[in-house]
Amino acid sequence: MPKVKTNSSAKKRFKVTGTGEITFQKAFKRHILTKKSKKRKRNMRMKGIVGAPNKDFVMRLLRLK
């Protein structure tokens, strides 16, 4: 019986914390930063947490469920 593979793109984008939350890096922080406010850029620095509606789907991609 073959092994079930983890989704390669998901394992690069998501990380599971010690408490079981799934974090990701926020989007829109790569370029064209001059028009974005300091507050907006500062908030994009923080890790995002996957919300409850998407958590089951992401866990399935990472083969945690």
Is 8-61 in CATH node 4.10.410.60?
yes
Domain extent listing, the chain? 8-61
Residue of 60, 61, 63, 33 lying closest to 45 (CA atoms): 33
pLDDT number for residue 1: 81
- Per-residue pLDDT of 26-40, as tens digits, reads 999 999 999 999 999
pTM: 0.82
H or E stretch at 49: strand 47-49
Rounded Cα gap, residues 57 and 7, in angstroms: 12
How confident is the model over 39-56, as pLDDT tens digits? 999 999 999 999 999 999
